[in-house]
Structure 1
Amino acid sequence: MKIFDTLADLAACVGQEVAVSDWVTITQEQVNRFAEATGDHQWIHVDVERAKQGPFGAPIAHGFLTLSLLPVFFESSFDVRGSGMGVNYGLNKVRFTAPVPVGSRLRGRMTLLSAEPIEGQGLQMTWQVQVEREGVSKPVCVAESLVRRYP
């Protein structure tokens, strides 16, 4: 885990890959809980036997489940000692570029694209996050995430 003392120290990294997160394993229980929370019970996610016969040969995680892991990736990869709070501000772009079979291990690779001062002595940062699946060269998700951090 990388540690930054201040928001200014983090802002100095614009244009650079800042961090790579820990691996997170996608479980069927997690997929099922996500289906319950969102109402998305598509068989390719929750019907294990049918999914084995489907186009991916196994159940796959919801794209939005993969996207919902972005805070986990940020949390496990770096910290800013001089920041007391961070909030998700939105997304500019999201693409689900490959399936995530249950049992996959994922991690996020974060590149800081921009950092702009905002009210309250904070920063609005634009991050490119590539979600990687272990053992596969193509990312499973590429997202441009907006995050606001405050002292």
Structure 2
Amino acid sequence: MEEALGSLGMTGMGAAARALTTPADKYTNDQNLELGWAVKAYHHAETYFNLASSVDNRMLKLTAQDDEIYKRFRECFPDLKIDVIDPEDLKSAPAKLKWRPFCNEFEGLVEDFNYGTLLRLDCTEGYSEKNSIFATRIQFFAIEIARNREGLNMGLFKKQDKEGSSS
């Protein structure tokens, strides 16, 4: 630790000290950074939805760790209702206490495991302002892998298949 601080030099250590002692409310979010994050989250959601609507999603692999994610998810959340998610099951204080250890298990295993992404609340509907919530990427993977394996997303594929064949 001391070596790392020493490598900053006097100027770097001064800047670090100021940053660490500045009250959090004095920091502002960079709007360009927030916009970039929102665009990335939207593209991720759009790509996933198009994929889940286009193939038999019961066999869809989202990560190399799908089996492990699904197994741990259902061990930790055996009764979590995932067809229509109650935001409280993700965002309430008691829910966060359960989700945090689960999510942290995948640090280093799932790329960007704690990045924010969009999650559909009702699995029979697409992304919309009313049907989307911000979640961590590993929460998204856990819930969508479970929805796929448990056949809950098949309505997307069948709906798209029916619309495609009637054109």
TM-score, normalization by structure 1? 0.24
For the pair shown, the structure with the greater C-alpha radius of gyration is 2
TM-score, normalization by structure 2? 0.23
Higher helix proportion:
2
Higher strand proportion:
1
